Structure 1
């Protein structure tokens, strides 16, 4: 069961809140429709329930608010709008990535694809999906964790009648198994046809809370649709003859030249128009929506051509308790808020605040990050371009004398700020967070991604692995290209290959992390690339000026002093490694990269802890 109690949105400046004191229940085993016209507050109410927007009130999912549910994806399935995801990702790849985020087996992806009828389209890209297939994929994402409750916002919007019938059949099957289904819609006929329980809201407030049978009887009635150029005249004539014959007839003018007549039929309206010489352009029977209930006395008499007959107004007044023209507090809301009076709609005691809390990150972060990185062609394309460019540059550099062998193997000409392999590693690092913010698969309704430590560590590890792989492959490809073009005598193993390898690995990983952290701080991949290029272009010249100044002190004996500070005894061979690390860091590029990473880590932690980024 889903219980919404006192939902009230935070208004903007002097505007009225989109949702005000909304209280209702969606029972288990039934399909509940949240009905309202565009702008009535349906989406705002759903977002308040899911803690996506700030406000007041509380929503219980089987007795627990969403933030107290350990694994929300296994309790609540959500579909708000289109499915967010990288257009180049496949349908199956998207679901497998979300399986790692929800902590469910990867086999669940194929199971839900079979359920929603996309089993044969698992390899299709998200960017090529039609509206119907996108809705099916969205429902598959909602069902991925086998949730008890489904919350959907306009799930049938843009669907064909056949797809519409399939969708609501699936929702009914979920409810038949004991689940709870709540969906928002603006079509009363659709609600009457597909739901078991209808909650009507208007201007963010409860208007009616009814069983579908009562809803159809009080809200939907047969009517005659009439289109004529003399609508006011025909309305007055029909109302006058109905009063003379003592018939209960309601005439509503719905627009220029259009009437809706309740309580009559096409033959009677046609005869009336013929007797009075009024031309009629359209005359048809249909099921009409009487609109949400309004307080008595607000509708005018039929003599004006725009109102209702008095007897109909009395009938609505009798049904007011059922329709809920003025919403009365429910037992649940009265128990939750003792200060509420039965005759007072306003709250004497404010409901608890709804805080926008960070969405939980992936339960299996490393697996999620691997599937996110390898699920699109970008990673493979960047790697291929980097290796090809590196090999070509290495061969071109070897044509001229004076280029050292380490620069040949790294394909690092003096004109470039960084070698291609390092730039590629930085680009992958920037995309690691940049794609998350551009296509937020983890927290689609929040517009960003959770900054959990587990997700950050997973991204750092996976990005470092890709950076080391690209760096190693670049050296191997460059060496083989030089051997092929100029012979084996050009390529020799340097004596200090360990120090050179450590410097090369540190440069690649450091630039990848710089791109990742900068993209995480500024929420765009371009900022990550700018941070990578800023190290050699801006930070290195500043560090070189610092090291160029005359030194009055020496760091000789640093390993020994570190050994004295350590509470454990370092081995004798550790001196060489400590000196090697110190030499790498002492290089201008190494020092600049270390400084940049320190600043970016502090900025990332600052924006996370201080809440500078809104969720």
Structure 2
């Protein structure tokens, strides 16, 4: 049972709230439609139920509020707006990424692809999908976790008639299997054909909550539509004969050639046209939406049980599939966000393009720096000229880190329909781990490529590996990993990739010069020798190889750049914890 109690959105300036004290229920095993004209508050009501917009009220999903549901993907499937995914990602890649985040087996991806009719489009990129395929992809994402409740905002928008039939058949099968379906629509006739219960909204307030048959009887007026070049003449004849037979009939002409007859049927209108010699080009029975608060029309020929809803209703699932099958529960594992992040990184071309660009630029700069012979080998291997605040590898690592959160906020696929990116600690740790791994790989590849380029151009004898290569390597890898983490945290705090890049550049451009001034000023005591004192404080030495790496890491920490980077990361992490880890979706 889905229960919405007292939903009220925040009041708008000089206007009433979009949703005002809305209370209704959507029972399991039934399709419930929220019906109303544009601006009636249908979408706002869904967003309040999902805690996306500020407001008052409670929503219970099988007796539990949303904040108490440990596995939202298992309980609620949501379709709101377009597919929020990166346009370069494929259909299968998008669903596999979401499946990893929800703890759903990857095999479930192919099941939902075929269930919604996306077979053959698995390799298409999201940016080139047609409108109908986008809506089906959104529904596939909602079905990934095999949820009990489906909340869909106008799911048939942009679909062809055949696709709508298939969509409503899928929703009907979900309801027949015991699930709850709540969808919005502006078409009252579509709600009558496909829903079991109809909740009518007008200006954010509840008008009626009733069965579909009762809704059809009180809101839809049957009428006969006649297309004829003599609409006024036929209207007069129909009215005259109905008055003689004492039948209540209303005849309305539109556009000079369309006649709408309320209170009659096709046989009566057709016989009248034949008797008076009026040519008829089109004669059909249809229903008119009388508006959300329109009373039942007196004299209208509405059947006692409402319009025939079975004629246009899609066929539900076979009887053998009516019982809800045993579903696979999402896996509770700390590796879920890590798998999600790995699939997110591997599913877009920007990662490879940034890495290739960094390697190419670094090789060119290394050759140019080694040409003069006066550049120290560490600077040549890092391709770090004085005119750049950071080497290309550090800038590339920071950019990849910034994109890890920046793309989440630009294309919020992780929690589609559930608000912004879930800023949980597990997701942050996963992004930091993947960003560090990419930074280490990029740093090692850059040093190797630059060394190979220098030896190729200037010979192996001129470019020799120094004895303190372990300390240099620790300094180099610590720099690229620190920049990557600064990009992750900066983008996570300020919710934009540009902010993450700015956080990376802030360290060498602003913080390091300021810190050098502070450390070089007159003082009674000095921090010189900090690395050696840290080594003594941390205890006995280890193996010689580990000792060299450890000494290199301590040397990085003792440098102004290392201190500035560590302080920046600490401030960003505290800001992330303060602003992000509050009341968001759970993993």
TM-score range, shorter chain: 0.7 to 0.9
Question: Offset of 1:100 from its aligned partner?
Answer: 1.6
Distance 1:523 1:257, change over 3 A: farther
Note the alpha carbon deviations across 1:106-153, whole angstroms, 9 max, x for none: 221122112222233222111111112111111110110011111111
Contact 1:362–1:368 (Cα < 8 Å) also in 2: no
Q: Supply the distance in 2 between the matched residues of 1:563 and 1:532 (Cα, whole angstroms).
A: 28
Q: Supply the distance in 2 between the matched residues of 1:151 and 1:611 (Cα, whole angstroms).
A: 21
Partner SS for 1:190? helix
1:17 is matched with 17
Distance 1:311 1:559, change over 3 A: closer
1:434 is matched with 406
Q: Are residues 1:570 and 2:539 paired?
A: yes
Partner SS for 1:422? helix
Partner SS for 2:372? coil
Q: Are residues 1:383 and 2:367 paired?
A: no
Partner SS for 2:120? helix
Contact 1:101–1:361 (Cα < 8 Å) also in 2: no
Distance 1:253 1:8, change over 3 A: farther
Contact 1:41–1:203 (Cα < 8 Å) also in 2: yes
Contact 2:273–2:280 (Cα < 8 Å) also in 1: no
Contact 2:475–2:555 (Cα < 8 Å) also in 1: no
2:514 is matched with 542
Q: Are residues 1:69 and 2:107 paired?
A: no
Deviates more, 1:505-514 or 1:57-66: 57-66
Note the alpha carbon deviations across 1:235-277, whole angstroms, 9 max, x for none: 8997687556421224568899976431125686689899999
- Residue of 437, 443, 450 corresponding to 1:478: 450
> What are the equivalent positions in structure 2 for 1:113-152 lying under 5 Å apart?
113-152=113-152
Deviates more, 1:410-419 or 1:61-70: 61-70
> What are the equivalent positions in structure 2 for 1:385-534 lying under 5 Å apart?
385-445=357-417, 447-534=419-506
> What are the equivalent positions in structure 2 for 1:341-356 lying under 5 Å apart?
none
Note the alpha carbon deviations across 1:36-71, whole angstroms, 9 max, x for none: 222222112222222222333332222222222221
Note the alpha carbon deviations across 1:429-485, whole angstroms, 9 max, x for none: 110110011001122335521221111111111111111110001011111122222
Distance 1:474 1:5, change over 3 A: same
Question: Offset of 1:20 from its aligned partner?
Answer: 2.7
Contact 2:362–2:382 (Cα < 8 Å) also in 1: yes
Note the alpha carbon deviations across 1:272-308, whole angstroms, 9 max, x for none: 899999x999864331224245376xx9xxxxxxxx7
Distance 1:425 1:561, change over 3 A: closer
Q: Supply the distance in 2 between the matched residues of 1:258 and 1:41 (Cα, whole angstroms).
A: 34
1:103 is matched with 103
- Which ranges of structure 2 fall in alignment gaps of 5 or more residues? 306-331
Partner SS for 1:533? helix
Contact 1:433–1:524 (Cα < 8 Å) also in 2: yes
Note the alpha carbon deviations across 1:367-393, whole angstroms, 9 max, x for none: 111111111111111111111111121
Q: Supply the distance in 2 between the matched residues of 1:510 and 1:197 (Cα, whole angstroms).
A: 56
Partner SS for 2:82? coil
1:294 is matched with 293
Contact 1:250–1:312 (Cα < 8 Å) also in 2: no
Distance 1:312 1:422, change over 3 A: same
1:285 is matched with 284
Q: Are residues 1:174 and 2:174 paired?
A: yes
Distance 1:168 1:86, change over 3 A: same
Deviates more, 1:22-31 or 1:377-386: 22-31
Q: Supply the distance in 2 between the matched residues of 1:237 and 1:135 (Cα, whole angstroms).
A: 48
- Which ranges of structure 1 fall in alignment gaps of 5 or more residues? 300-307, 320-359
Distance 1:231 1:546, change over 3 A: farther
Partner SS for 1:399? helix
Contact 1:225–1:282 (Cα < 8 Å) also in 2: no
**RMSD value over aligned CA atoms?**
3.6
1:346 is matched with none
Partner SS for 2:56? strand
Q: Supply the distance in 2 between the matched residues of 1:114 and 1:610 (Cα, whole angstroms).
A: 37
Q: Supply the distance in 1 between the matched residues of 2:531 and 2:566 (Cα, whole angstroms).
A: 20
TM-score of the aligned structures, taking structure 1 as reference length? 0.80
2:322 is matched with none
Note the alpha carbon deviations across 1:404-425, whole angstroms, 9 max, x for none: 1111111111222211111110
Question: Offset of 1:610 from its aligned partner?
Answer: 8.3
Contact 1:18–1:203 (Cα < 8 Å) also in 2: yes
Note the alpha carbon deviations across 1:57-91, whole angstroms, 9 max, x for none: 33222222222222111111111121100001111
Q: Are residues 1:216 and 2:188 paired?
A: no
Distance 1:606 1:224, change over 3 A: same
1:6 is matched with 6
Distance 1:255 1:543, change over 3 A: farther
Q: Supply the distance in 2 between the matched residues of 1:45 and 1:481 (Cα, whole angstroms).
A: 61
Partner SS for 1:182? strand
Contact 2:489–2:572 (Cα < 8 Å) also in 1: yes
Distance 1:552 1:22, change over 3 A: closer
Contact 1:361–1:442 (Cα < 8 Å) also in 2: no
